[in-house]
């Protein structure tokens, strides 16, 4: 019997179809629909850091990457954590310990970039740089890995982005947990009161190069500044709507007004399955709450895989279960496909260059 993955690959290859705007409703096997997915934010195996699971006889092969195949994950933003050396994990959360000295952030960026190359050389991931690469990955039954940076702490001048782009990076999350020169974040007192002058230059330069701007972890005022400047859709790769203030990591949740800023640009919010959610079932409900606030066209999935806080979705093999749960809660197949892939595919087509 032809597998679901093989069926998907053959159908797209024979038809010569583009993923953008297409419906996958005809791709069925035994009446089980295939739901290709794109993860807006992940750290698979923490890039081969200590404790990563691997397969016997396949040294260095990430279990998380293998699970992508099982979950029909066709694309993912693989994120380096730029402020990692500046963070300390405590019982109450992550605490920043300072900022980079001149040139230190750039050295850390290059170090992590070199480490990340192993993920592509050993695993069945294709390095993706443009929308066509995602189409090809779907056709081959592979996962397109787009490089991203969590935190712009390594940037001291907007012109550095020329080299970053040449390196293959296609998205930068402007801020993370450590205060940085670009803008303010949700979990620290304001320094710049939004974007800094350098942050504004970085936004303009990313627009010009064709890079996806990610405003996860950014303060409301910072997001307002980005929205006022950007000429392209932006993403908020991993967050969820606010609920009770005493929930775990509640500071990382966003208000409806915050969410609507992303939709205003035509962008996408990655629904985040962190321990903010009390269960997988509640995560499904919180995705639907986000849809109610911003509309079906502006919601995606951002798992924060392998670096999440008490996740309620902790393996890509749960993606088909998520699709089924959303349908059981009243969404159509086409709406589920928008959340899992099509909305993000649209943003990639709008922002990234074809070459």
Mean pLDDT by 10 residues, the chain (355 residues): 42 38 37 83 69 43 83 95 90 84 96 84 83 90 93 98 97 97 96 98 98 98 98 98 96 98 98 97 98 98 95 96 97 97 97 82
Output the CA torsion 288→292→296→298 (10° steps): -100
Please report which residue ranges of 123-209 form alpha helices under DSSP H.
131-140, 161-166, 197-209
- Determine the pLDDT at residue 49: 45
State the pTM of this model.
0.88
Query: Measured between alpha carbons, how far is 59 from 49 in angstroms, rounded to an integer?
Result: 13
**Residue 179: strand, helix, or coil:** coil
Q: What share of the chain is helix, strand, coil (3-state, %, to 5)?
A: 40, 20, 35
- Determine the pLDDT at residue 69: 86
Phi, psi angle pair for 23, to nearest 5°: -100, 140
**Residue 149: strand, helix, or coil:** strand
- Determine the pLDDT at residue 61: 59
Output the CA torsion 154→155→160→164 (10° steps): 50
Nearest CA to 263 out of 298, 293, 239 is that of: 298
- Determine the pLDDT at residue 255: 98
DSSP 183: B
Reported as type and span, the H/E element at residue 285 is helix 280-294
Query: Measured between alpha carbons, how far is 251 from 301 in angstroms, rounded to an integer?
Result: 19
Give the chain's domains with CATH numbers: 36-351 (3.20.20.140)
- Determine the pLDDT at residue 223: 98
Nearest CA to 251 out of 282, 230, 272 is that of: 272
Query: Measured between alpha carbons, how far is 198 from 108 in angstroms, rounded to an integer?
Result: 20
Query: Measured between alpha carbons, how far is 106 from 126 in angstroms, rounded to an integer?
Result: 25
């Amino acid at each position: 019997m032809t597998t679901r993955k093989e069926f998907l690959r053959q159908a797209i290859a024979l038809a010569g179809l583009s993923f953008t705007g297409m419906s996958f409703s005809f791709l069925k096997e035994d009446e089980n629909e295939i739901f290709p997915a794109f993860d807006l934010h992940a750290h698979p195996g923490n890039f081969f850091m200590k404790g990563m699971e691997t397969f016997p006889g396949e040294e260095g092969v990430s279990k998380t990457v293998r699970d992508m195949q099982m979950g029909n994950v066709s694309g993912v933003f693989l994120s380096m954590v730029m402020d990692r050396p500046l963070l300390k994990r405590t019982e109450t959360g992550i605490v920043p310990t300072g900022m980079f000295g001149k040139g230190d952030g750039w050295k850390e960026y290059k170090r992590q970039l070199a480490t990340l190359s192993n993920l592509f050389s050993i695993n069945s991931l294709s390095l993706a740089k443009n929308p066509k690469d995602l189409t090809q990955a779907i056709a081959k039954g592979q996962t397109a890995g787009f490089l991203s940076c969590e935190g712009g702490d390594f940037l001291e001048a907007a012109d550095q982005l020329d080299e970053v782009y040449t390196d293959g990076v296609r998205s930068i999350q402007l801020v993370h947990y450590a205060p940085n020169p670009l803008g303010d974040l949700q979990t620290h007192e304001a320094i710049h009161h939004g974007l800094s002058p350098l942050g504004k230059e970085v936004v303009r330069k990313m627009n010009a190069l064709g890079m996806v701007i990610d405003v996860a972890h950014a303060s409301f005022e910072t997001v307002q500044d980005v929205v006022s400047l950007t000429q392209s859709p932006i993403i908020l790769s991993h967050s969820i709507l606010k609920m009770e203030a005493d929930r775990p990591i509640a500071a990382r949740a966003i208000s409806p007004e915050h969410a609507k800023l992303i939709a205003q640009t035509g962008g996408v919010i990655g629904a985040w399955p962190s321990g903010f959610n009390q269960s997988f079932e509640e995560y499904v409900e919180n995705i639907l709450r986000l849809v109610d606030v911003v509309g079906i066209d502006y919601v995606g999935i951002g798992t924060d895989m392998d670096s999440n806080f008490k996740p309620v979705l902790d393996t890509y093999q749960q993606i088909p279960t998520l699709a089924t749960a959303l349908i059981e809660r009243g969404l159509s197949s086409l709406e589920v496909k928008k959340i899992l892939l099509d909305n993000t595919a649209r943003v990639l087509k709008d922002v990234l260059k074809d070459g």
